[in-house]
Amino acid sequence: RKEVEQDPGPFNVPEGATVAFNCTYSNSASQSFFWYRQDCRKEPKLLMSVYSSGNEDGRFTAQLNRASQYISLLIRDSKLSDSATYLCVVKGVDSSYKLIFGSGTRLLVRP
């Protein structure tokens, strides 16, 4: 089983739609969680950190469910510019603080 798993998609949605991505992780003691966005042939960039209480940044909402070991990202009112690959990232539990990436979920927003 992979340490971090995501549905690869692609998710093809119209502008204005609401779309949700899930990510599961295998190590229950994992400490920190993030969502990154990666555009084609570019480096990943931090979209948002994921806190236990859940957090929102404009049209984006991230949630963490420790009991079920999954992280979610909700995008409301999708824009064409949201088209990208969304990477779920988990930070390791031991002193190594190793960053583990999921394979990414591709989102295509159509006019």
- Positions touching another protein (CB under 8 A) are 31-32, 34, 41-46, 49, 87, 89, 91, 95-104
Summarize the chain as % helix, strand, coil (round to 5). 5, 55, 45
Nearer to another protein, 8 or 16 (CB): 8
Least gap, CB of 9 to another protein (angstroms): 11
Q: How far is CA 67 from CA 7, 8, 23, 29, 96, in A?
A: 20, 23, 13, 11, 24
Least gap, CB of 77 to another protein (angstroms): 25
**Which of the 8 DSSP states describes residue 107?**
E
Nearer to another protein, 20 or 99 (CB): 99
Q: Are 11 and 21 in contact (CB under 8 A)?
A: yes
Least gap, CB of 101 to another protein (angstroms): 4
Nearer to another protein, 44 or 75 (CB): 44
